[in-house]
Structure 1
Amino acid sequence: MVSQRRHLYAGITALFFIGACLHVNVHDGLYRSGFSDNEGGGHRWYAMASSASSHKSGKGKGKARCTPEEWASGEWTYHPHNHSTPVKTLADAFSYAGFAGCPHGDKDIRLGMQPDWMRQYVPLRTSWRWRPGAACRAGEEAEDEWEGGVRSERFKEALIRYLVVEGGWLIMGDSNIFERFLGLGCMLYPHVAVTTDPWPMHLHLNPASPLVPALRPHFPPGFDMKRTPLVTGQRLDLLMGFDEVEAVYNTRFPSLKDEFGYHEDGERKGIWGYPSYDSYTESTEYVTRMLTGADGRYSAFLLSTGAHWSGHAFDGMSRAMLRKPSTRPKSDAERLKSEELWSDAVMDRVVQVLAAALPVWAGRVQAALDKATFIGRKEPRVLMLSTPIAHRECRDQHVPWKDVHWDAVNASKGGRYILRMNNITQSVLGDGQYRSIRYLPIERAAMLRVDGYTGWDCMHPLAGSGVMEAELGYAFRYLTEFD
């Protein structure tokens, strides 16, 4: 299905960064099946899985669960490489990142190879690992085992088993979806193959993977390596479809719904106006159909929102508020200026629209899950991840911060508004208000990695820096430890 499209400015990119200390808690039967033949390899994962299981049942030795807040209270630690090979090729970048390779294209920018001057920083940027808060570290042996474990073959095996046996991940968001999808593909390579449409994009189990023979006896009924996705990536800039968001706006601001002009051909342009750049979003019906359908067989839905909620997206609304002409701009000079689109008045209303949209979206997603029947699999869990704030210091900062520099956050375009959006999202989705939906306030780990962005815009995470890998590792841990 082709995504709905509008010419919307991309705004600030939502980044799904978190940090990783991983525990695996999958079916004991599969984990004791001798999947890994490496002594001290797969079996050590079994031990960690048993530890997580005993904790869940209250039979552990007082180990606290790794809550998002506790996890995000940690720090980045330095783990230098044991070589200093100059980074000249993608193979060099893969080596530093701990990847065997990547199954898809557009890797130069995403791995920090472009612009050319960024290559010299690849070794340093790939030398950091997230060390979560104390309650997330169950003893030094466990800490040594799991810290940075996303770079290991054990992690690849454990996550692929989970995705095959428990079900795949449906991942959605704005332009950061490229980094998340690329990051997972690189982490799991060569055990996955990629297909792109471009939307949705899928990672499938690679039939040539050496893991397949041991996995095959555990394939769920109907599992097809060529058809059943392990990971699906779908662009979702504004959480819901354009018509849905506009309906929310008209309900929230009923006296303002007639303030917008018309296209020159007579079509009502509404709140969207004439933005400059393409954006994509989908209806909630389309999303829930993907999530609950038998073909996808998803066990989890990971997403984030907020970074593309800006005056750029709501060009028609912004023009009406700023009393600007509603006719199509004839040149870039006639478009709304950035400082106008990020003005307090415009952004305050954007935040109010998001606040009104969130409970509508959550209610529809929960209703779809309640109505659906899941045969031979668990109901999917929905994880809404908080949105970190990008800023322009990535070109000058080459090591992580110890603490968030709030002056830089507040000085960035929309920075304080994304903080408001995160707080609103937590107030709507936090505390288990929706049975199947959880909010993870874990943006701090990513916000400390100002050095972990692409140099071309400082808004997208670099694969291999540990930021993206950490996020995905914690999502895995949360799903297994709290399910």
Structure 2
Amino acid sequence: MVTLGFKTDSTPYRPLFATPRSLSTKFFALFAVTSVVYFTHSFVPSEYKPDLSSFRFSSPRVRGTCPPRSYAAGEWVAKPPPTNRTDFNSSSDVYDYLGFQGCASTREVYWHLAADKPALWDRFPRVASWQWQTPSDCEVRELDPAAIVKDLVEQGGWLLIGGKHPSPCRSLLPSIVPLPVGCIPYSVTENHFFSLSCLLFPHVRATPDYIENPYFDRGWPQNLYLEPSSPLVKSIRFPPGFDIETTPLVTFRRVDLLFEQPQLDALYHSLHPDSPYVSANESIFSDEAAWNLSPEEYVKIFTSPLPQGNYATMVVSTGGHWTTTLFSGLKDTSMFKDGIENVLGFFSEAMEAWAREVQALLDDAEEVEWANRRFSIGRSRGRKMAPRQVVARAYLPGHEDCHDHRDPWTSYKPGRWGWYNWNQIGDFNDAFEAVLDSRKYPDIHFLPIDRPALLRPDAHSAGDCLHIMSGAGVLEGWTQYIWHYVTVELPGRVR
């Protein structure tokens, strides 16, 4: 027997086609909103109209034209050299041999261009005679410096956050001995910044001026600004509040671990209160130097309003400093590579905490901006640019005996000796990618685009086998793909 249940609450009966009580109210509310919008866009001056185009509406998820792994599946192919010259007689000749008009940054210019050691000048112009060819089904935007500059203004700039691997030179010297020429404790992320200063030249200028004052601390911010005399200025649509003199297009900040060390100490002890390696009041770190900021500090920079900031993309990279030398409290000489797996395990935990904190900070900043937008009618329009996104670029190991090579590889070969944690860098990248492969962090994306660099043992600076020279195509490829990713792959996705 089937019992038909009927609702017997006190709601009065309405005929099927009766007009709902709230219809008239809803109608007049809709009419009022429509009237306000019509009036505003018809009669209010354009500079005071609300920025309706900046509101987010869900759009269908679209398939990217070249996802990161597809991009990385390409190969290096030969291209015509930038010059037919054969008379490389001085370091200043390097611009012709790399195809650069110049470089905006003045930070150890010839070191970054690998032109500081005459014994290795035989690499030119061959080192700049290769280009990364993506698979046939992978379409990437053509590298266009002028278009990149325009997007950095109109769509938002880049904040580069990253550190360095411990210098191969330092391991051979007491800490009190200055590093010799060629052994410069740079960051691979700083290499990327310098490359941008060359690629975008002469449309950008750089600070600080290291010729005038070469003693800036390595943690000092470096910036690229739009050059006021650039012919691009006339064609750029400047966001309200943008200041050519003070609003950066690109900023580099030295951050080795993505956290400050006391934060990592606290995190480790909270997760491992009974650790067999360190007691509750001990640090997991040695006294090896490292440069760091907290996520709160650099996300505050990232989300700062115009004219101080106009950033839309934060590019982070870490992994090289996560060694048993710096993390000496996790060292275990009875284990493989002195317990590098202990460091790797904590790295995974730390990156989970990092992603959670950064996503929360981005969400908080977005809520503040949305609150401000609600009251934009009658005032000048605010920020109108791409939504802020964070991309984590896969970290790189070095190549042992790199200066013996003059051509790219077709497949990667791990080092024979396994210097530092170089042969484990792939594991660190995998751990970071596993953390970010989650819908919990919709604004943070991992880019496994390290393979082009892994296949270029010939593209290192003249001073060591970790840092990458500008002009060989590796760093410029990062710029091209990250630009493509944030302007083509990400738009159209839904959270």
**Normalised TM-score (structure 1):** 0.74
Unaligned runs of 5+ in 1: 1-55, 139-145, 262-267, 323-339
Q: Distance in 2 between matches of 1:274 and 1:382?
A: 31
Residue 274 of structure 2: SS of its match in structure 1? helix
- Residue 367, structure 1, aligned to residue 388, structure 2: no
Q: Distance in 1 between matches of 2:285 and 2:64?
A: 47
Between Structure 1 and Structure 2, whose CA radius of gyration is higher?
Answer: 2
- C-alpha contact (below 8 Å) 1:202/1:230 kept by paired residues: yes
Counterpart residue number, 1:476: 483
- Residue 437, structure 1, aligned to residue 444, structure 2: yes
Counterpart residue number, 1:88: 89
- C-alpha contact (below 8 Å) 1:369/1:379 kept by paired residues: no
| Deviation of 1:468 (Å) | 0.3
Counterpart residue number, 2:127: 125
- Residue 251, structure 1, aligned to residue 270, structure 2: yes
Counterpart residue number, 1:167: 156
Q: Distance in 2 between matches of 1:100 and 1:356?
A: 45
Letter in 2 for 1:134: S
- Residue 424, structure 1, aligned to residue 437, structure 2: no
- Residue 461, structure 1, aligned to residue 468, structure 2: yes
- What's the RMSD between the two structures over aligned residues? 2.4
Q: Distance in 1 between matches of 2:341 and 2:461?
A: 29
Residue 248 of structure 1: SS of its match in structure 2? helix
**Normalised TM-score (structure 2):** 0.72
Identify the structure with the greater helix proportion.
1
Unaligned runs of 5+ in 2: 1-58, 164-186, 209-215, 370-381
Residues 57, 353 of structure 1: alpha-carbon distance in 2 compared, 3 angstrom cutoff:
closer
- C-alpha contact (below 8 Å) 1:394/1:451 kept by paired residues: yes
Which structure has more relative contact order (CA 8 Å, sep 6+)? It is 1
- 1:322-361, aligned counterparts within 5 Å? 344-361=337-354
Counterpart residue number, 1:404: 412
Q: Distance in 2 between matches of 1:107 and 1:284?
A: 30
| Deviation of 1:454 (Å) | 1.2
Letter in 1 for 2:296: E
Residues 316, 450 of structure 1: alpha-carbon distance in 2 compared, 3 angstrom cutoff:
same
- C-alpha contact (below 8 Å) 1:394/1:455 kept by paired residues: no
Residue 171 of structure 1: SS of its match in structure 2? strand
| Deviation of 1:433 (Å) | 3.9
Q: Distance in 1 between matches of 2:195 and 2:277?
A: 44
| Deviation of 1:344 (Å) | 2.6
Residue 299 of structure 1: SS of its match in structure 2? strand
Counterpart residue number, 1:330: none
- Residue 182, structure 1, aligned to residue 182, structure 2: no
Q: Distance in 2 between matches of 1:124 and 1:369?
A: 44
**CA shift digits 1:397-430 (9 cap, x unpaired):** 1100011124x37844423321111111111002
Residues 259, 411 of structure 1: alpha-carbon distance in 2 compared, 3 angstrom cutoff:
closer
**CA shift digits 1:3-32 (9 cap, x unpaired):** xxxxxxxxxxxxxxxxxxxxxxxxxxxxxx
Would you say how many aligned residue pairs link Structure 1 and Structure 2? 381
Letter in 2 for 1:220: P
- C-alpha contact (below 8 Å) 1:80/1:124 kept by paired residues: no
Counterpart residue number, 1:107: 109
Residues 257, 213 of structure 1: alpha-carbon distance in 2 compared, 3 angstrom cutoff:
farther
- C-alpha contact (below 8 Å) 2:324/2:338 kept by paired residues: no
Counterpart residue number, 1:98: 99
Seq. identity, %: 31
Where do 4+ consecutive residues of structure 1 move more than 6 Å?
56-59
Residues 311, 411 of structure 1: alpha-carbon distance in 2 compared, 3 angstrom cutoff:
closer
Counterpart residue number, 2:22: none
Residue 161 of structure 2: SS of its match in structure 1? strand
